[in-house]
Amino acid sequence: MCISVVSTAHPDYPFILINNRDEFINRPTARADWWDSPNGHVLGGRDLQRQIRGTWLAITKQGRMCNLTNFRDDGAEVAQNRSRGGLVSAYVATPPDSDETDEAFVKRLVDEIDIQKVGGFTLLFGRIRKPKDGKVLGLGVVSNRTSSVEEATRICETLGKTQGLSNSHFGDLTWPKVVHGEHLLSQAISANVSRGDDSQEKFIERLFDILSIDTLPRPKPGEPFQTFTRQLRNSIFIPPVGGEAVKDKPADKLAAADGIATPDHGGDVKVGDGVYGTQRQTVILVSSEGKVTFVERTVYDAEGGTMSDDTRDRWYEFDIEGWER
CA distance 301 to 25: 8
pTM listed for this prediction: 0.89
DSSP string, 3-26: EEEEE---SS-SEEEEEEEEEETT
CA distance 304 to 301: 5
Domain membership of residue 208 (yes or no) is: yes
Domain membership of residue 188 (yes or no) is: yes
Nearest to 162, CA basis, from 8, 323, 4, 317: 8
pLDDT band at 167 (very low <50, low <70, confident <90, very high): confident
Domain membership of residue 248 (yes or no) is: no
Domain membership of residue 239 (yes or no) is: no
Domain extent for 165: 3-216+276-319
251-286 confidence digits (pLDDT tens)? 665 555 444 333 334 444 455 566 888 999 999 999
Domain of residue 310, CATH code: 3.60.60
Tell me what pLDDT residue 198 has: 85
Domain membership of residue 225 (yes or no) is: no
How many separate domains does the chain show? 1
Domain membership of residue 255 (yes or no) is: no
190-210 confidence digits (pLDDT tens)? 999 999 878 999 999 999 999
- Answer left, alpha or beta for residue 112, where phi above 0 means left and psi between -120 and 50 means alpha: alpha
CA distance 114 to 142: 12
Domain membership of residue 230 (yes or no) is: no
**List of residues 6+ apart from 305 with CB closer than 8 A:** 271
Domain membership of residue 240 (yes or no) is: no
Tell me what pLDDT residue 260 has: 38
Q: How far is residue 239 from each of residues 132, 133, 312, measured CA to CA in Å?
A: 41, 43, 17
DSSP alpha helices (H): ranges in 196-313? Answer: 200-211, 228-231, 251-255
pLDDT band at 73 (very low <50, low <70, confident <90, very high): low
218-254 confidence digits (pLDDT tens)? 655 554 444 566 778 899 999 887 665 445 556 665 5
CA distance 218 to 216: 6
